[in-house]
Chain A
């Protein structure tokens, strides 16, 4: 019997499935998460997986939160321990008063368990061996059997799961009945042999609304479709590959000419990242909207071309799905660690536009907007996702598109304008915003052609190594970057109920845990204004936010406080006023971590208001 009081909660707990990868658990676990959503309860599933295809440990964490806290929480209330390799560690990670669910076919000694948790055993292997003869079926149905048992244990609506099975195997209808049978085998066993329900349970509610459950990579790819991307060149790399995969799938559905069955898109799997960005730049130069998707190591390889895009002023879009670095790092773990390598990518003086979506909804929106910005600014636009946003399903606001929206193709001089005698200088700043006009190749027989190069040139694209024209051009590029400040998504600010001297800056996937942490920090008696940065270059309101507070915390998921460095550098801020809050172990940052770290700092500030140790 458990020595701790069992955790008793409705619609507010964390279930963690410990599996072996390649065992078919992923689809069963996803069905579990989706069933919670269908019951109207907000849910946040996260896949924790190795860089491997078969045989290594994998976990699937489902946070259930009627209060709508969708960031990772930390800790596990109900552990579904299906992997003998990680059994001991998994048990150790259960919260006191939590529950262990395990396969009790082979009896385990009491020493294997903890005194402060409840233990629920279902002889899954024995049941499956009895019911099925095919070894593959025994394995696959085991996943459904445990979902069935959980239906009884936490009062998950079994009809919802049946419906999901029907949807999942639509078209392979003969698989529906056996799966439903397996579901009921598990459920019946639990109802007959176990004390149901547990003190952790679900209850139907209506807190999901019209939200959708989708991965950020899939959403970003859909954004690229809506944003008018026609050329995608990419090289496989975790965790970004599903951007190109999803784009391929969406295009096959939405971009095939109904009359000719021909493709209104071109997707090339390149030989490496250098070739993929090269193709994107070639296509952008020639007037198509083009993108690539990659991760940190790919960004490193693309540096030279990114500098060319900056200096020769060619539109390009890069989706960077960040993973833990440096080097190969942890390919299947999340971080926000490419901020500096993207912001200042390539040799020489360069600066690049970065967009920071917080979730799939913004991945879609920024994914589409990036193409307008790339054409308008004639440069590379980075959409900075991370593994947590990109590869996990997130409960998100539904996608919206304004059908009257036209694409902004930027300053492109036409054959008619050239014919009418309009002056064309490729690098001439006619409007004072630093953005010159360009022409697409093949526009006019005698006017408007120019030579594109990465070498220095004058306003009419003629090669020069003279100091004056070089500086003139570099200054114009700075002006153009200033223009970008008002074109990119603005930061969003939310002030505390009471006036406060303290603020917090954060971005990207830190948003959901930050939203939760703010309540926890308030509960500790502190007030904190917050601002979510959504793009670089920083809007002037970032400067004023820092100026308006004595100290501002900068929360980010890397070791070296890269965003803080960027703010200090670009906004000319005294570094002492920006307190870094850093989480970089490869797991998504949690509300518990933020609340504790910031709370401790604020308490220290109360004691010594003149100094801060960071």
Chain B
């Protein structure tokens, strides 16, 4: 992992978003991941989503753990503060950062080793607390940086590159997120940008704990026959429940949809999602049904993708703690220190 600056040159006719930023303003340094890595496609989707949302790049805090996936925040949003923390502990660092300043957008980037093994506890607790964040797991089923050991999301019976069969049961992080109370749960595939970009946009706009499990094949260690996280396997077994169109609040809905096939979902921030149903009876607001649906399809060896669940009226940790509207990090002694007069009363009560 070396630091490589990208050249600043850009084409004068690059399209600009509402804030006047181009796509290039959302990029970071050059990726040092393997050529063809699924994670680089996710990076590109994050850049695309942030550009389309017209987010001010410096108002995002990107926080990660350790591993290939956790390296990626250097490759996008170069004008944002980033924090590559310790292995499996992104959720706690993000929670603390969020408590300090509720006004920033929090993007947590993790991997399957980082979130399903060493950080499984923190993954669970950040979701159950309802931290307002977009929590992305770049899920490839292996430990890439240490050269191809199985991770806890590797399916039972799948084979490693060396031919070893995994005998442990796998953890489905999206199913876990549903059970733990995440108010936005999606699964996507790094190779399906059409599906992924709107999901990321919707997750960022969601004002609660949003979790996205993104299957992201490891070209170096987990893209062979016998793997259930390879490009070919995911393409063949992808069972998509819906496609999203993200409609920012300011734009009128121009596309005409067939009646009954589309649900328009209003998000808390005023933005809207046009949800094109691919499974006629799938209800994206029914947590229990979503859990059953995932289990039934997993049993058939299918990978369910799309927006799996969304709470229309989410709440977050700040709401639960009833904190003030201004960020805690701007409060000073005048706001925080009760002063000597109060201390006199405290002293008097202790005699």
Contacts and interface: CB of A to CB of B under 8 A. Distances in A.
Interface of A: 37-38, 208, 210-214, 222, 225-226, 228, 230-231, 233, 254-255, 257, 260-268, 270-272, 274-288, 290, 304-305, 308, 398-403, 405-407, 439-446, 449-455, 462-464
B78 interface: yes
Contacts of A449: 58, 78-82
Given A254-B342, A449-B82, 9 more contacts: A231-B96, A233-B96, A281-B85, A286-B96, A439-B81, A451-B82, A452-B84, A453-B84, A455-B1
A210 to B, nearest CB: 7
B59 A212 contact: no
A403 B340 contact: yes
B83 interface: yes
B329 A440 contact: yes
A276 B91 CA distance: 11
Interface stretch (B37-45, B217-225, B288-296, B343-351): B343-351
Interface in B60-86: 61, 63, 73-74, 78-86
A454 B340 contact: no
B96 A283 contact: yes
Contacts of A263: 321-324
Contacts of A463: 1-3, 74
A407 B58 contact: no
Contacts of B286: none
Contacts, number: 236
A405 B40 CA distance: 50
A336 B98 CA distance: 35
Contacts of B7: none
Contact of B101 (A281, A287, A455): A287
Contacts of B324: 257, 260, 262-264
B125 A270 contact: yes
B92 interface: yes
Given A271-B122, A406-B333, A399 B347 contact: yes
A400 B83 contact: no
A267 B321 contact: yes
> 10 closest A-B pairs (Cβ-Cβ)?
A282-B96, A278-B92, A288-B100, A279-B96, A441-B81, A287-B329, A286-B100, A212-B350, A282-B93, A283-B96
B347 A212 contact: yes
Contact of A268 (B94, B95, B329, B339): B95
B58 A442 contact: yes
B96 A441 contact: no
Given A255-B336, A450-B81, A452-B81, A442 B104 contact: yes
A276 B162 CA distance: 39
Interface string B265-303: 000000000000000000000000000000000000000
Nearest to A314: B83
A442 B86 contact: no
Contacts of B328: 230-231, 264-266, 283, 288
B333 A288 contact: no
**Chain B CB within 10 A, most for which of A282, A284, A305:** A282
Interface string B325-339: 100110111011111
A216 to B, nearest CB: 13
Contacts of B91: 275, 278
A432 B42 CA distance: 42
Contacts of B98: 282
B30 to A, nearest CB: 13
B97 interface: yes
B57 interface: yes
A268 B318 CA distance: 11
Nearest to A229: B336
Nearest to A444: B58
Nearest to A393: B350
B171 interface: no
Interface in B131-147: none
Contacts of B103: 442
Contacts of A208: 351
Given A286-B100, A288-B100, A446-B58, A275 B125 contact: yes
B263 interface: no
A276 B121 CA distance: 12
A278 B89 contact: yes
A401 B332 contact: no
A114 to B, nearest CB: 38
B84 A275 contact: no
Nearest to B28: A451
A287 B97 CA distance: 8
B56 interface: yes
A367 to B, nearest CB: 13
A449 B57 CA distance: 10
Given A266-B328, A449-B81, A452-B84, A285 B350 contact: no
A304 B346 contact: no
Contacts of B342: 254
11 contacts: A211-B351, A228-B333, A263-B323, A266-B328, A271-B122, A275-B122, A282-B95, A286-B104, A439-B81, A442-B61, A446-B79
Contacts of B122: 271, 274-275, 278
A280 B86 CA distance: 14
A332 B149 CA distance: 43
Contacts of B176: none
A445 B346 contact: no
A328 B328 CA distance: 36
Contact of B84 (A211, A281, A442, A455): A455
A248 to B, nearest CB: 11
B99 interface: yes
A282 B74 CA distance: 18
A208 B95 CA distance: 46
B336 A230 contact: yes
A440 B329 CA distance: 9
A228 B337 contact: yes
A454 B99 contact: no
A283 B99 contact: yes
Contact of B80 (A257, A305, A308, A441): A441
Given A230-B336, A254-B338, A263-B323, A285 B83 contact: yes
Given A275-B122, A283-B99, A452-B82, A443 B58 contact: yes
Contact of A279 (B61, B95, B104, B318): B95
Contacts of A290: 96, 99-100
Nearest to B338: A254
B129 interface: yes
